[in-house]
Structure 1
Amino acid sequence: MTMYDAVTTGDDASREPEPKQRESGADDAPSPVSREQRDGTELLTLSGDLDLDVVEEIAPVLEAALAAQPGGLVIDLSNVTFADSSALNMLLRTHARTKLHLGGPLQPVVRRLFEITGIESVLNLHDSAAAALEAAGRARP
């Protein structure tokens, strides 16, 4: 690779990649996921922007919730302000593993993503986390 290639592509073969770091003060930022059990159902409440980095941060909490509640799970998306394809992938993979119920209302940007991709017709989307919890409770044996 020539120096010209590195300048035009942003690649620098002579340097090791720098590890990703959170923005300054991000350690004090609230977690993008909280987990609780309500009426015998695992409830994950997600918030903020759901991009690849955040989805990776959520993954261990999601796995623990799935292990505790293999028959169903509720995810509250009402505080999610942005979602990308990694978030959609996470939701679809979770739906394939368990009976997933999503609570809204969805923020306009997230609602539009769901409409464009047609994911609303695949997932169990409810108007609120309470409605999703109620539906999950009815679905339990």
Structure 2
Amino acid sequence: MDHRTDPPDQLTLIEASIPVPPAWILLLRGAVNGCDEEELRAVFARALAHPRVPLIVDLGSLEHADAFLLGLLLAARTRTRLHLVGPLSRSFKHRLDVTGTPDFFRVHATLTDALAAVTAADAGGGGTTPPLPGQG
């Protein structure tokens, strides 16, 4: 395991695919800035290449996220079951509030909770993405 300490204004990104429950996990730590767009676009593309596999994005250690990440998350939720892990930073919560999108996402307290939700959805056939607020 890498124990280096990255500057808080730099993005550290870890991705993993797990077999049980089937899920693609992205862990973001630090801060998302404009220079991270290409890497984030590629990581999300890899995750969304498997639309039947839920995507879990852990934002609990993310200090700052720009509008680009929010756009990727909004697009991802239309293509797969998306779960976020918090707690969400104050600035990202504010971004969600300003854009009117906080209800678009499932936010779990821990990765374990998100994995349990994926397992429960798979067991209950709940594999659909919830509709956008106001669309039924």
TM-score (norm 2): 0.71
Q: 1:135 to 1:55 in 2, by over 3 A?
A: farther
What number of residue pairs does the alignment pair up? 114
Kept in 2: contact 1:41–1:137 (CA 8 A): no
Flag the 1:57–1:87 CA change in 2: closer, same or farther, 3 A.
same
Match for residue 37 of structure 1 among 9, 13, 17: 17
- 2:42 aligns with 60
Q: CA RMSD in A?
A: 2.4
Kindly name which structure, 1 or 2, has the bigger radius of gyration based on alpha carbons: 1
Q: After TM superposition, what 4+ stretches of structure 1 lie above 4 angstroms from structure 2? A: none
Between structures 1 and 2, the one with greater helix share:
1
Q: For the structure 1 residues 66 and 54, does the alpha-carbon distance in structure 2 shift closer, same or farther, using more than 3 Å as the test?
A: same
TM-score (norm 1): 0.69
For structure 1, the 5+ residue unaligned runs are 1-25
Listed one character per residue, the Cα deviations across residues 76-102 of structure 1 (whole Å, up to 9, x for unaligned) are 011111111111101001111111010
Q: Does 1:89 align with 2:93?
A: no
Task: Tell me which of 107, 113, 122 is aligned to 1:131.
Answer: 113
**Which structure 2 segments of 5+ residues have no match?**
1-5, 126-136
Q: Which amino acid aligns with 2:14?
A: S
Q: How does 1:1-141 map to 2 (within 5 A)?
A: 32-38=12-18, 39=20, 40-68=22-50, 70-140=52-122, 141=125
SS of the aligned residue for 1:71 comes to: coil
Following the alignment from structure 2 to structure 1, what is the Cα–Cα distance between the partners of residues 77 and 14? 19
**C-alpha separation in 1, matches of 2:51 and 2:26:** 12
